[in-house]
Structure 1
Amino acid sequence: MGSEQQIRRWESGALAHAVSDPFGQGPLPWLRGSENYFDDTGHVVPWYVDHAPAPGAAMVPAPRISGPRTSDDVHRQIKGFTSTGAAAPGESIDFHVTVDPPQEFSIDIYRIGHYGGDGASKITTSPRLSGITQLPPLAADRTVSCHHWWLSWRLHIPSYWHIGAYVGVLTTADGHRSHVPFTVRDNHPADLLLVLPDVTWQAYNLYPEDGRTGASLYHAWDEDGRLLGEEDAAVTVSFDRPYAGAGLPLHVGHAYDFIRWAERYGYDLAYADTRDLHAGHIDPTRYRGLVFPGHDEYWSVPMRRTTELAKENGTSLVFLSANTMYWQVELSPSPSGVPDRLLTCRKRRGPGKSALWREIDRPEQQLLGIQYAGRVPEPSPLVVRHADHWLWEATGAYEGDEITGLVAGEADRYFPRAPLPETESRVLLAHSPYREGGLLRHQETSLYRAPSGALVFASGTFAWSPALDRPGHVDTRIQRATANLLDRICKRD
């Protein structure tokens, strides 16, 4: 492979992502149509569509010359991050932005939601800001940080803003664009607390994806620009840096799919990040249910302890993805003392115990009811079981029905030799065969009621949230089943 093609793939923001996220980032309304990148095979595809197009679909879309262009991690035309985690109305969010060449830029603030099908709404726009080229990222032992970047803009969050998931869209005067996600939260009571998996997002972040410097908990580069695997990846990653590629985290679309659907139907949602759960910024027992809408693989001890305590106090738990709570991690302060800005996961390297929860005698199944089984190379049907259960009520699903493509990405199942949680009742609501490397595997969907009365649901597949509101993936049976679950939780039934 020639260096030019490698460079273009580095710029794409897709090299390390295409094989692991079957649903891409999700179609965000202000990015439709003009954004192209190279997938893992070197083909040009729109960044927001599936990595595996339908048979007969065109692989190469017609290019669009006009309109904003996505910034890349090689030239860093515009990239940014926030040095603040989630913030409340009345507080501030600090943006640190680099622009090359130096020029004016602006930041449009969008809130994710249904908004009549638009998927997001522009809330405000910054003044025209003077952009500077910040110093290159610093790297030490594979840990990449931009904590030395100057403050570019401080957003004061008005008291009247709605809590929720937000995205800052950074645009230069010459038309390059990047993105910065953030969360606005408060302490007001609500039926459901939506927990955005920012810890897992950062674990996958390969910024800068430039073939030289970038590193995640999965990948790093060698001196020849080759992508290395976990054995050579970072042990610690920093939140003080942009996200690779377009500036949005891998799998962020799964959370946005749930948000659009839930807000469309009027569910009473509060918002938080997993670091809020870790740091004790929220009291989960105030809510009837916690919803984990996307891939949520990396958990600290305080995250798990807080979630288990919530369940013991009657707060229900809803896990809408797979491979949840797989790795145990630590969060620590930045060198300047800002808490929870460094994420460490030692995985299988070095002295001490493994960082897998299941290998330190605390398997995920003890909380979830099922646990990670493996990758799903090609989307497969989810096969309905116990169709007479209330979860499947009015969905039109019958025993043994196959819901096409709903087992995808990664899958969970029940492990007979792993301990189960204490339950009042327990049922597996799907049992779905699929093949991995020629071997027959199976996926399962779990629901149990804890002695406290809390319900704990685990979908066991990446594809559940996209089935709620992702164009091309919506399934009315999954929409109704999810509504049946959330309605029971909100009514404490």
Structure 2
Amino acid sequence: MPPPARFVVGTLIALCISVGAGPALPSAARTTSTSSAVTAAQPDNPIVVENRQAGTFGWLPGPNAAGDATGQIKGYWSATSVRQNETITLYVTVNPSQTYALDIYRLGWYQGTGARLRLHEGSLSGTTQSPCVPDATTGLIACDWSASYTLSVPSDWTSGVYLGLLTNAQGFQNYVLFVVRDDRPAPFLYQQNIMTNQAYNNYPNDGRTGKSLYTYNSYGANTISGETRAVKVSFDRPYADFGFPQADEMEFIRWIERMGYDVTYSTNVDTHADGASLRNHKAFLSVGHDEYWSKEIFDAIEGARDAGVNLAFFAADTGSVQVRFEPSASGLPNRVMICYKSAAIDPVNGPTTTVAFRSPPVNRPEQALRGVMAFVGGMVTSGTLPDYVVTNSSHWIYAGTGLKDGDTVARIVGYEMDRYDSQFAPPNSPNWTLLSHSPFTNYQGNASYANSSIYQAPSRAWVFSSGTISWSRGLDGFWHGSADPRIQQVTANLFSAFLNGAPEVQGLALSAPGATTAGTAFTVTVTAVDGQGAPVASYDGTIHFTSSDTSPGVVLPPDSTLSGGTGTFTITLAGTGSQTVTVSDAARSLSATATVVVSSAPRAEQLRISGPATATAGDAFSVTVSAVDGQGNPVPSYSGTIHFTSSDTAAAVRLPPDAALSGGQGTFNVTLTTAGAQTVTASDVASSLPSATASLTVGARAADHLALTTSASPASGSSFPFTVTSLDGFGNTDTAYAGKVRFTSSDTLPGVVLPPDSTLASGQGTFTATLVAPGSQTITGTDVGTPGISGTMSVAVAQTVRSLKVTAPATATAGAAFSVTVVAADARGDPVTGYGGTVHFASSDTSAGVSLPPDSPLTNGQRTFTVRLTRAGPQTLTVSSADGALTTTTNVAVSAAPATRLIVSTATPTPTAGTSLSFSVIAQDQFANTDLAYAGRVHFSSTDTSATVVLPADSTLVNGQGTFTATLTKAGPQTITATDKVVAAVTGNVAVTVQPAAAAKLTLGAPNSARAGQSFPVTVTLTDQFGNVASGYRGAVHFTSSDLLPTVVLPADYRFTAADAGAHSFSVTLWTIGGQTITVRDTVNAALSDSHSVSVGLL
């Protein structure tokens, strides 16, 4: 969760920046970093050997911190972790372009300096890289920078947290962090919590464009989240500001390495990618703010625990929010972290939805794993932190600390903290223990408290949760000056248990009084102790009591278990003299004995009981029972057993169990729950003494809930009565209830009528309501001023038909039958199974071939019908009840069936021979719909087979149609045919009448011989260029002849008419014997002429 103010741990770096020569160290670091209550006595291991090397304070920054707005120098690595002998790439930008230095330090103890210099690159060339622009939808900021430097990690670089210090030529500095892994099975695995740092990272923190997963520190336009926050963040970008939000982790690293524990390092990104590797270690350590986990991380940590791996969470708010990962734009896995924080906008719904783990649909509260969990208000403002307050100090984890219940450790709780939340299940462990109860005032000014916890899982793994982010401050004082030897000892005890197992019980200690009176109860205390006599809180054995006193009246405790390693029990002895009491655990061969001297006692003659005159239902009150002698004096030696009864026999009544008195009297708690006059009676179980009765009046508690009842089963839309009664927790009517009740219902449909806000009379009221939605509905009454006072009743609302729901496909094929389901629905849309009315169908498609169902009844409120439509395009299908009161129309987009024919048409039915004509081809189905999907290839042919005919080449159609041109040359009726080249049945033609072209040739037809003076016929025919008679010719022709005798008869000039149809016959008479010619020509177009020779003979 976000801090209450813009408080980032990394800003503590500013504490060590001073103007002048060199860095100023934190106060605790200038002398001794911390005083450790635990002696480092670990054998040589890679951590011990590493920390013998010389350290340096050179990793601390100088006075010039690079800023995001100016970007003097910023950088990031290509991975969050890297193995030895592998490479990792650094991406750096400088402003302006200049050289820069890279110094890489390994963080650790190193004689208190905190780091060891492992690499110095003094002069690297730097350039100004392009700005990193947020994605408009998700807010993702991923820098697509060019690589600046590649590091090949040497094999002698010990696994750990490595800090790169970038310094540009102008002296400005910035940090870049990564982890070196060696993946060896060290006892301890330290997880660096990179993911939460990235969630809060709002680079560039320039007040304009930077974005994190939080609105409070995100800028610019709103994203899909509806706020300025991003729903995706990338590791391919620098960290904001100085780039080192790791102060608490730094103090933990210093302490664990100072103590010489054999630890190896990884990140939570590594846990996500290879969770099974956790099982290679004895203990998994989550240090620092570890709020964000993926499902894979949760599974891995939970699975490690169940496999026997110990877990320690040295922080708060751990594992509370789920994320997912996706690759970077370049394909590198796990470089983009996704967190919508809302199931409503997350496109993934299920076990990986990015919401709080405890929230739906994930429903995986982290308390069952960690023992405690984050809670609303679990945060304080920056500044002085609250104190840690100890509880259950007998637990082995506090051994050697000197801490007692109520003791405090200063300033290590916060700034975020956890506690046990009773709304969620605790861990599955009989020894789950809360180790602290630390009160504080949160950032909202409200009183609250925090818990830490420990438990042992069924796998025998121990799980510790510090419940505070700042636990590490108690381990080392380098930054915060809060080191405390008691916290160091607690942590060392925990690690010892991780390595060697928790302390084991060595014996039982029994504490009892030296003397008592016969028949008088006394208490003994039993404690399970280790070899040093310290309590062992984890002891889970069963103890058994015996005594040397076998007289009647002896009362020994039943076999019992201890709580936190200790228990107090009540014993009554009867035989006088020296007696012994022995407690034993046979399974562990443990026992302890105490001697008690028992003296005799006077005789009791009656019982007395006293108590209050009034009580409140559910509140415990005290009654005092005394065994007295004849003078009314208590008899301490009374050894009888008292049994309690009451006139109140309600299930929630709490009467004391049968019990002995102590010193002749005892005070007991009684809880009655039924309002009115009641009695409490005390009796001697053996009936040796008369019983005693106390009378009192029990009053109802203030109402804590409302009871809504009705005997009605109303029909939808019909009003019905119901009763509201204000009750306390035990079912008593609170007649003094004065609250105002507001009514709501699960039925939110139009037409619902609920009573207005109302008061009750003497705790009761009768009202009416009208519900609409059928089925089981609820009506809830809620106190307006106190919403926690409420009640709900269920009402079975009978169904009535409100609409016809029609389900039909969005698309259909012409002529193809499809199913339509009609449901008679109630107001909520559910089927009314009792409806059997008749429905009628109609459609916008009235074409031939349409098939609609006949009027038909529904069965059990629904029926499926078959419909066939034939007209392509948007059509409607309307279903109505027989009386027309219910009507529903649905839309169906009808597409054509596969083409069965080709429709060929032209706008030029009488083309001129030799002139191009345009015609169209449409592929149609049997219902005359254009088949838009027709993909056939069309071949063209014609009845005009003249050589000069021009037809289109084989072609495809576009969207089922095409326009083409053709040229025919033979006059007269002709056809153009289009045929699918594969399916010959898909064909079609158009008929045209070809008109002759303009006359291009004149032909004179005459006999070859004639008789002088005798007339003979001649014919003049005009044809076009294709040989067609030019029937449209309207020119005039003129005749001449070589026979020049005046008696020659030639036709006069003649103009052709429509009746001639391009040919006309004439009569000619020649006289001159011999060969003669006749010539005819167009009077205008000399090209149209012809001559014919005629041999003229004698009559």
The interval holding the TM-score normalised by the smaller chain is: 0.7 to 0.9
Matched, 1:34 2:30: no
Matched, 1:331 2:325: yes
Given candidates 176, 194, 219, the residue that maps to 2:172 is 176
Asked whether the equivalents of residues 83 and 153 of structure 2 are also in contact (C-alpha less than 8 Å), the reply is yes
- AA in 2 matched with 1:453: R
Residue 376 (structure 2) pairs with residue 382 (structure 1): no
Contact 2:140/2:231 (8 A) holds in 1 = no
* Equivalent residues in 2 for 1:81-480, closer than 5 Å: 81-141=76-136, 143-219=139-215, 221-222=218-219, 231-248=227-244, 250=245, 252-280=246-274, 283-348=277-342, 350=345, 352=349, 355-359=355-359, 360-373=362-375, 374-377=378-381, 379-436=385-442, 437-471=444-478, 472-480=481-489
2-side partners of 1:470 and 1:347: how far apart? 36
- AA in 2 matched with 1:73: D
Distance of aligned partners of 1:221 and 1:422 in 2 relative to their CA distance in 1, 3 Å threshold = closer
Post-superposition CA distance 1:187-221 (Å, at most 9, x none): 21101000011111100101000111110001355
1:151-190 Cα deviation digits (max 9, x unpaired): 1001111111111000000011111110100000012110
CA distance in 2, matches of 1:117, 1:177: 23
Task: Give the aligned length.
Answer: 447
Letter in 1 for 2:158: H
Displacement of 1:111? 0.5
Cα distance in 2, alignment partners of residues 428 and 67 from structure 1: 44
Asked if structure 2 preserves the Cα contact closer than 8 Å seen for 1:295 and 1:323, the reply is: yes
Q: Which residue identity lines up with residue 205 of structure 2 in the other structure?
A: E
Contact 2:390 2:436 in 1 (8 A): yes
Q: How many Å separate the matches in 2 of 1:175 and 1:17?
A: 32
Alpha-carbon distance between aligned partners in 1 of 2:26 and 2:229, rounded to the nearest angstrom: 27
Q: In structure 2, what is the Cα distance between the partners aligned to 1:114 and 1:468?
A: 12
Q: Which of the numbers 490, 495, 501 marks the counterpart of 1:481?
A: 490
Q: Which amino acid aligns with 1:464?
A: W
Shift of 1:33: 3.2
Map Cα deviations across residues 395-451 of structure 1 (whole Å, 9 max, x no partner): 121211011222121111111120122214211110111122332211001000001
User: In 1, are the aligned partners of 2:139 and 2:231 still within 8 Å (CA)?
Assistant: yes
Q: Which has the larger radius of gyration?
A: 2
Cα 1:143–1:222 change in 2 (3 A) is closer
Aligned to 2:5: 19
What CA deviation, in whole Å up to 9, does each residue of 1:434-485 have, x standing for no partner?
A: 1223322110010000011100000001120122113311111111111110
The residue type equivalent to 2:482 in the other structure is H
Q: TM-score, normalised by structure 1?
A: 0.85
1:70 aligns with 2:72: no
SS across alignment from 2:279: helix
1:237 & 1:49 partners in 2: Cα distance? 36
Partner of 1:302, secondary structure, is helix
Offset, 1:23: 5.3
Percent of aligned positions with the same letter in both sequences?
A: 38
SS of the residue corresponding to residue 123 of structure 1 reads: strand
User: 1: distance between equivalents of 2:201 and 2:27?
Assistant: 20
Are 1:239 and 1:342, in contact at CA under 8 Å, matched by a contact in 2?
Answer: yes
**Alpha-carbon distance in structure 2 between the residues aligned to 1:427 and 1:279:** 32
Indicate if the aligned counterparts of 2:188 and 2:284 stay in contact, CA closer than 8 A: yes
SS in structure 2 of the partner of residue 334 of structure 1: coil
Contact kept, 8 Å, 1:380 with 1:434, in 2: the verdict is: yes
Deviation of the 1:223 alpha carbon: 5.4
Equivalent residue letter for 1:151? A
Secondary structure (helix, strand or coil) at the match of 1:87 reads strand
* Aligned counterparts of 1:25 and 1:401: Cα–Cα separation in 2: 31
Contact 1:27 1:49 in 2 (8 A): no
The one-letter code matched in structure 2 to 1:128 is: S
**What amino acid maps onto 2:92 in structure 1?**
V
Matches of 2:498 and 2:304 in 1, distance apart? 14
Measured at CA, do residues 20 and 450 of structure 1 come closer, stay the same or move farther in structure 2, by a change above 3 Å? farther
Higher strand share: 2
| SS of alignment partner, residue 203 of structure 1 | helix
Deviation >3 Å, runs of 4+? 20-28, 46-50, 142-147, 219-224, 351-354
What letter matches 1:241 in structure 2? R
> How far does residue 305 in structure 1 lie from its aligned partner after superposition?
0.3
How far, CA to CA, are the matches of 1:367 and 1:230 in structure 2? 33
More helix by share: 1
Are the equivalent residues in 2 in contact too, given 1:380–1:406 (CA < 8 A)?
A: yes
Are residues 239 and 167 of structure 1, via their aligned partners in 2, closer, same or farther at CA, if it must alter by over 3 Å? same
Stretches of structure 1 that go unaligned for 5 or more consecutive residues are 1-15, 37-45, 51-65
Distance 1:214 1:47, change over 3 A: farther
Distance in 2 between the 1:95 and 1:318 partners?
32
Match for residue 53 of structure 1? none
Which amino acid counterpart does residue 230 of structure 2 have in structure 1? A
SS in 1 for 2:412: strand
Distance 1:67 1:429, change over 3 A: closer
Once residues 67 and 417 of structure 2 are traced to their aligned partners in structure 1, the CA distance between those partners, rounded to angstroms, is 32
Contact 1:69 1:176 in 2 (8 A): yes
User: What residue identity is the alignment partner of 2:492?
Assistant: A
Match of 1:465, SS state, is helix
Contact 1:26-1:48 at 8 Å conserved across structures: no
Distance 1:22 1:126, change over 3 A: closer
How far residue 147 of structure 1 moved from its aligned partner, in angstroms, is: 3.7
Mapped contact 1:406–1:463 kept (Cα < 8 A) = yes
Give the partner amino acid of 1:396: G
- CA distance in 2: counterparts of 1:469 and 1:208, whole angstroms: 32
Equivalent residue number for residue 58 of structure 1: none
Q: Cα 1:186–1:301, aligned 2, differ >3 Å: closer, same or farther?
A: same
2: distance between equivalents of 1:375 and 1:201?
18
Residue 122 of structure 1 aligns with an amino acid whose one-letter code is L
- CA shift, 1:354, in A, is 6.4
CA RMSD of aligned residues (A): 2.6
Cα distance, 1:143 vs. partner? 3.2
CA distance in 2, matches of 1:392, 1:488: 12
Maintained 8 Å contact 2:100/2:124: yes
Helix, strand or coil for the counterpart of 2:247? helix
